[in-house]
Chain A
Amino acid sequence: MIEVEALAKRYGSFPAVNNLSFSVGPGEVLGLVGPNGAGKTTTLRCLAGIIPPTEGVIRIAGHDMTHSPIEAKRALAFLPDEPRLFEYLTVRQHLAFVARIYGIAEYKPLGEELLEELELIDKADQLPGELSRGMRQKLVIACGLLHAPRVIFFDEPLTGLDPLGIRRMKDSILRRAQQGAAIVLSSHLLHLLEEVCSHVLILKKGEKVAGGTLAEVAARFSGGETHVSLEEVFIRATQ
Chain B
Amino acid sequence: MISALLYLRLTSLSNQILTRVRRLRQPKYLLGAIAGAAYIYFFLIRRFTHASAGSPFGPGTAAVMAILFLSGLAILRIAVAWLAPARAPAFRYSEAEIAFLFPAPLSRRTLIHYRLLSSQFAILFSAFLVALVSGQASISDSAAASGAITGSTVTKVAIKVIGWWILFSTFSLHLSATSLTLARLRDRGARIVRWRAAALAVILLYVGALVGAAVSSGRSPEASTFEDVNGLVAFVRANLETGLLGWLLLPFKVATGPFLATNTGEFFLSLGPALLLLVIHYLWVVRVEYAFEEGSIASAERAGASARSLAGSLDGGPVPLETRDPAYPPVPAKDRPVREPFRLAPVGRPETAFLWKNILSLQNSLATRRVALTALAIVAWIAILGERFLHSRHSGPKEALLPCGICALAAFYILLLGPQLIRQDLRNDLHNADLLKTYPLRGWQVAVGELLAPTLFLSGALWVTILVPAFLLDAQIVPWMTVSFRLVSATCLGLIAPAVCVIQLLVPNMLMILFPGWYQASRTRGGGIEMMGQRMIFVFGQLIIAILALGPALLAAALLIFASKWLIGTVAAVVLATLAVLAILGGEAAVGVWVLGDRFEKFDLSSELKP
Measured CB to CB, the residues of A under 8 A from B are 11-12, 16, 36-37, 39, 41-42, 45, 48-52, 69-71, 73-74, 76-78, 80-82, 84-90, 93, 96-97, 99-108, 125-127, 129-130, 132-133, 155-156, 159-160, 188
Cβ-defined contact, A73 with B438, below 8 A: yes
Chain A hits for B345, CB < 8 A: 100
Name 12 extra pairs, CB < 8 A, besides A37-B316, A88-B363, A129-B331.
A39-B316, A69-B601, A76-B438, A81-B318, A88-B365, A93-B360, A101-B439, A107-B346, A125-B337, A156-B318, A159-B318, A159-B321
Contact of B434 among A84, A126, A133, A156 (CB under 8 A): A84
B316→A41 contact, CB < 8 A: yes
A100 touching B337 by the CB < 8 A rule? no
Structural contact, A126 and B337, CB atoms closer than 8 A: yes
**Mask: chain B, 552-578; 1 = CB below 8 Å from A; 0 = not:** 000000000000000000000000000
Pick the residue among A49, A52, A77, A97 that contacts B356 (CB under 8 A).
A97
B194 at the interface (CB under 8 A from A): no
A135 vs B357: C-alpha distance when bound (angstroms): 21
Evaluate whether A70 and B441 lie within 8 angstroms (CB atoms) in the complex, with A88-B338, A105-B347, A133-B322 already known.
yes
Q: A71 to chain B: which residues have CB within 8 Å?
A: 440
Say yes or no: A87 contacts B318, CB within 8 Å: no
Contact B440 A80 (CB under 8 A): no
Say yes or no for B319: interface residue by CB 8 A criterion.
yes
In the complex, chain B residues whose CB is within 8 Å of the CB of A82? 308-309, 312-313, 319
Binds A, one of B271-279, B411-419, B602-610: B602-610
Q: Are A100 and B324 in contact (CB under 8 A)?
A: no
Of residues 284 through 324 on chain B, the ones whose CB sits less than 8 Å from some CB of chain A are 308-309, 312-313, 316-319, 321-322, 324
Cβ of B415 to closest chain A Cβ, rounded Å:
26
How far does the alpha carbon of A42 sit from the alpha carbon of B432 in the complex, in Å?
Answer: 17
**B324's contact among A48, A107, A133, by CB below 8 Å, is which?**
A133
CA distance A100 to B437 in the complex (A): 16
Question: Quick one: which of A71, A78, A89, A132 has the most chain B CB within 10 A?
Answer: A89
- A45 to chain B: which residues have CB within 8 Å? 434, 606
User: A73–B602 contact, CB under 8 A?
Assistant: no
> Which of A69, A74, A84, A129 is B431 in contact with, Cβ under 8 Å?
A84
Q: A interface, by DSSP: helix, strand, loop or mixed?
A: loop
Q: Which of B335, B352, B434, B602 is within 8 Å of A100, CB to CB?
A: B352
Residue in chain B with minimal CB distance to A85: B432
Q: Which of B121-144 contact A (CB under 8 A)?
A: none
**Given A16-B316, A42-B316, A126-B337; A101-B440 close (CB under 8 Å):** yes
Q: Is the CB of A50 within 8 A of B434?
A: yes
B residues within 8 A CB of A129?
Answer: 331, 333-335
A125 surroundings in chain B (CB, below 8 A): 337
Query: Inside 8 A of B365's CB, which chain A residues have their CB?
Result: 88
B residues at A contact (CB < 8 Å): 308-309, 312-313, 316-319, 321-322, 324, 330-331, 333-338, 340, 344-348, 350, 352-353, 356-357, 360-361, 363-365, 429, 431-432, 434-435, 437-442, 601-602, 604, 606-607
Choose one: B317, B360, B601; the contact of A36 (CB below 8 Å): B317
Could you tell me the distance between the alpha carbons of A88 and B309 in the complex, rounded to whole angstroms? 14
Q: How many contacts A-B (CB < 8 Å)?
A: 141
Cα–Cα, bound, A201→B461 (Å): 56
Q: How far is the CB of A11 from chain B (nearest CB, A)?
A: 5
* A100 and B350 contact, Cβ closer than 8 Å, known pairs A52-B602, A133-B322: yes
Q: What are 7 contact pairs spanning A and B, CB under 8 A? A: A12-B607, A78-B434, A86-B361, A96-B346, A97-B353, A105-B347, A127-B337
Q: Are B322 and A160 in contact (CB under 8 A)?
A: yes
Smallest Cβ distance from A211 to chain B, in angstroms? 20
| A71–B338 alpha-carbon span in the complex (Å) | 34
CB-based nearest B residue for A92 = B337
A73 to B319, CA, bound (A): 25
Q: How far is the CA of A137 from the CA of B441 in the complex (A)?
A: 23
Q: Which residues of A contact B333 (CB under 8 A)?
A: 126-127, 129-130
Q: Nearest 8 CB-CB pairs, A to B?
A: A100-B353, A82-B313, A74-B440, A73-B440, A130-B333, A129-B333, A88-B361, A99-B346
Contact of B346 among A39, A84, A105 (CB under 8 A): A105
Which of A16, A36, A41, A102 meets B440, CB within 8 Å? A102
Does B346 contact A103, Cβ atoms closer than 8 Å?
yes
Structural contact, B438 and A78, CB atoms closer than 8 A: yes
A103 to B346, CA, bound (A): 6
A88–B360 CB distance below 8 A: yes
A97 to B441 CA separation, bound complex (whole angstroms): 14
Report the separation of the CA atoms of residues A88 and B359 in the bound assembly, to the nearest whole angstrom: 10
Cα–Cα distance between A77 and B356 once the two chains are bound (Å)? 23
Query: Are B438 and A81 in contact (CB-based, < 8 A)?
Result: no
- Supposing A36-B317, A126-B337 touch, asked if A50 and B438 sit within 8 A by C-beta, the answer is yes
